[in-house]
Amino acid sequence: MKALPLVFPFLLAALPIAAHAEARQLGPHVHGQASVNIAVEASTMDVQVSLPGHDAVGFEHPPGTPAEQAAVDKATASLNAAAWLVPAPAADCTLALARVSPHGFGGATEAGGHADFDASYHFTCRRMDRLDQLDVRLASAFPSVAKVVVSLITAAGSSQQVLEGGVSHVGVPQ
């Protein structure tokens, strides 16, 4: 049994239709800054990321050359693999679903001329009680990222942590 019924409402928030309503925005579009929302509940962890195109591929317009298309494809694949996010190994988490949505690279540019990569992930963790930390390595995967704003919601409440200067460690309140 896959956890699809649980995932579905979460995915709705990431659909392009929602994007046009600006509902997908996790945080302000600031070059050099990525936003990560993490929600932990029972045995599941849902993660949403928004990354400016500027930091993912170095431009924010529809790819005009094979090299630019390759850059978009590479960033999409990199986000899809979710290697930038490493939950505490003891929590025994498995990536059940990943969805990456580039916005503003497909023809019509977005209002303001900006473009983003949005991604959402669904993890299942066998030992969620051991999820005491996460490693968020977005700045390693995308070196143009200087600041990562991580918002965390767990049974213990909500918190926000700002990662800068090579810091990737995020503590998870139990």
Q: Which of residues 33-52 bind Zn ion (CB under 5 A)?
A: 52
> What are the DSSP calls for 42-83, one per residue?
TTEEEEEEEEEHHHHTS--S---SHHHHHHHHHHHHHHHHTT
Nearest distance in Å: CB 55, Zn ion: 9
Provide the minimum distance between the beta carbon of 94 and Zn ion in the complex, in angstroms, as a whole number: 33
Report the residue number, 105 or 123, with the smaller CB distance to Zn ion.
105
Dihedral of the CA atoms 35, 147, 87, 82 (nearest 10)?
60
Q: Which stretch binds Zn ion (CB under 5 A): 66-74, 80-88, 112-120, 132-140?
A: 112-120
Instruction: By CB under 5 A, tell whether 130 contacts Zn ion.
Output: no
Residue nearest to Zn ion (CB): 114
> Looking at 92-100, 111-119, 120-128, 160-168, which segment touches Zn ion (CB under 5 A)?
111-119
Considering the complex, state which of residue 25 and residue 158 has its C-beta at the smaller distance from Zn ion: 25
For Zn ion, the closer CB: 24 or 122: 24
- Shortest Å distance, C-beta 50 to Zn ion: 11
DSSP 110: P
Applying CB under 5 A, the site for Zn ion has a residue count of 4
Under the binding rule (CB under 5 A), the answer on residue 114 touching Zn ion is yes
Using alpha carbons, select from 26, 23, 117, 105 the residue that is nearest to residue 69: 105
Buried b (16+ CB within 10 A) or exposed e, 19-42: beeeebebeebeeebbbbbbebee
Supply the minimum distance, in Å, between the C-beta of residue 32 and Zn ion. 10
Alpha-carbon distance of 80 to 156, in angstroms, equals 29
Which residue's CB is nearer to Zn ion, number 46 or number 60?
A: 60
Q: Any idea what the Cα angle at residue 12 is, between residues 11 and 18, rounded to 5°? A: 125
Structure tokens at 99: 């969805």
* Residues at the site binding Zn ion, with contacts judged by CB under 5 A: 52, 54, 60, 114
